[in-house]
Amino acid sequence: MSKTRFIVRVAICVAMLIGIQLALSAIAGIELVTVMLLCMCFCYGSRTGMTIATVFSLLRCFVFGFQVNVIVLYLVYYNLFAVFFGWLGKRLTGEISLLKTVIVVAAAMVFTVCFTLLDDVITPLIYGFLPNAAKVYFLQSLSALIPQTTCTLVTVSVLFAPLTAVIRKFDS
């Protein structure tokens, strides 16, 4: 793939991710970044996925603000996410079956839980929370975990196959 095509692909993907995040930012627990980035990484592989994840993590700050804990969280989480789903896309080749969808949905739900747990570690460390404050932060985050994980279950179950098909068609 040419460098120009790579840059354009990354730019289009990042623009879609930021647009989707901005469009749904007012609705707590509802997001489509997970399913969109997942499909991009699944189709394009880890290298492209990590580039998309890194650029997205940094450029979104211009819309949502520069918060150190969020930048660190996004850079760590979304790059691990990209590596995993890029790898998974190389392993689960061919047509999207029910079994492949179930595997991807389960993995996405685990990653969603890990996002919250990683935030529960990174934010208290960066801001120097005392142990009791860190515990309260952790307990408070659990209220967001259920709607986020449910959203991941629904969106990845419904959108994984069609988005993957569109991305593959766009790529050919």
Residue-range domain boundaries for the chain: 3-171
Mean pLDDT of 74-82: 98
**Cβ–Cβ < 8 Å for 20, 33:** yes
Give CA angle at 82 (16, 105), nearest 5°.
85
Q: pLDDT band at residue 17, thresholds of 50, 70 and 90?
A: very high
The identity of residue 100, as a single letter, is: K
Sequence-separated (6 or more) residues with CB below 8 Å from residue 7: none
**Contacts of range 75-81, beta carbons closer than 8 Å, 24 or more positions apart:** 76/118, 76/122, 77/111, 77/114, 77/115, 77/118, 78/37, 78/53, 78/54, 79/50, 79/53, 79/54, 81/37, 81/38, 81/41, 81/49, 81/53, 81/111
Question: Is the predicted pLDDT of residue 123 greater than 80, yes or no?
Answer: yes
The fraction of the chain above a pLDDT of 70, given in percent, is 99
The fraction of the chain above a pLDDT of 90, given in percent, is 94
- CATH 1.10.1040.10 assigned to domain 3-171? The reply is no
Q: pLDDT band at residue 170, thresholds of 50, 70 and 90?
A: confident
Q: What is the mean pLDDT of the chain?
A: 95
Q: What is the pLDDT of residues 124-138, one digit of tens each?
A: 999 999 999 999 999
Question: Is the predicted pLDDT of residue 20 greater than 80, yes or no?
Answer: yes
**How many other CB atoms are there within 10 angstroms of residue 146's CB atom?**
10
- Amino acid 103: pLDDT: 98
Question: CA 82, 88, 89, 91: dihedral to nearest 10 degrees?
Answer: 150
Question: Is the predicted pLDDT of residue 107 greater than 90, yes or no?
Answer: yes
The identity of residue 162, as a single letter, is: P
Q: How far apart are alpha carbons 93 and 146 in whole angstroms?
A: 31
- The whole-model pTM stands at 0.94
Question: Is the predicted pLDDT of residue 172 greater than 90, yes or no?
Answer: no
